[in-house]
């Protein structure tokens, strides 16, 4: 079964910590995405990548960075965690090309910043 795996289901971090969220996919997908999900706001795109070492800002990139050193791995980095970054973080991947492919999502990481 094809998968997108997020390394942690639940995380609790302190304000000011540097936080790494890891995502790995085994489908050889070109595109990978990071979203955050908040009640009433749906999913908001933080960053995405359409190739190794390539990255593009989404709608809410402030306070975040990403790394894609290998095709299968896309990491989200919170440079200095703040309480307003408490959220559910979802990683997704898709095939490249014309953009008509659906996404495969990971199970999510629920991050609490205290």
Partner 1 sequence: AQSVAQPEDQVNVAEGNPLTVKCTYSVSGNPYLFWYVQYPNRGLQFLLKYITGDNLVKGSYGFEAEFNKSQTSFHLKKPSALVSDSALYFCAVRAVTGGFKTIFGAGTRLFVKA
Give CB contacts under 8 A, 24+ apart, made by 50-56. Answer: 50/96
Using CB under 8 A as the binding rule, whether residue 74 contacts partner 1 is answered as no
Examine residue 65 and tell whether it contacts partner 1 (CB under 8 A): no
In whole angstroms, the minimum distance from the beta carbon of 57 to partner 1 comes to: 10
User: Rounded CA gap, 89 and 46, in Å?
Assistant: 10
Does 95 help bind partner 1 (rule: CB under 8 A)? no
Q: Does 113 bind partner 1 (CB under 8 A)?
A: no
Please give the Cα distance from 56 to 51 (Å, whole number).
10
CB atoms within 10 A of CB 36: 23
Other C-beta atoms closer than 10 Å to the C-beta of 11 total 16
Among 13, 22, 43, 72, indicate the residue that binds partner 1 (CB under 8 A). 43
**Site for partner 1 (CB under 8 A): which residue of 50, 67, 71, 72?**
50
Beta bridge partners of 94: 31
Applying CB under 8 A, does 42 fall inside the site for partner 1? yes
Residues that bind partner 1 (CB under 8 A): 4, 9, 31, 33, 35, 40-45, 48, 50, 56, 58, 90, 92, 94, 98-100, 102-108
């Amino acid at each position: 079964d094809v998968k997108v795996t997020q390394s942690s289901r639940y995380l609790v971090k302190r304000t000011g910590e540097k936080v790494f969220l890891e995502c790995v996919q085994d489908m050889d997908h070109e595109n990978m995405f990071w979203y955050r999900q908040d009640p009433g706001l749906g999913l908001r795109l933080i960053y995405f990548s359409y190739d190794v070492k390539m990255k593009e800002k989404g709608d809410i990139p402030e306070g975040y960075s990403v790394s894609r050193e290998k095709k299968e791995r896309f990491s989200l980095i919170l440079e200095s965690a703040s309480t307003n970054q408490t959220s559910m973080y979802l990683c997704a991947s898709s095939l490249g090309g014309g953009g008509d492919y659906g996404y495969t999502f990971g199970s999510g990481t629920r991050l609490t910043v205290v």
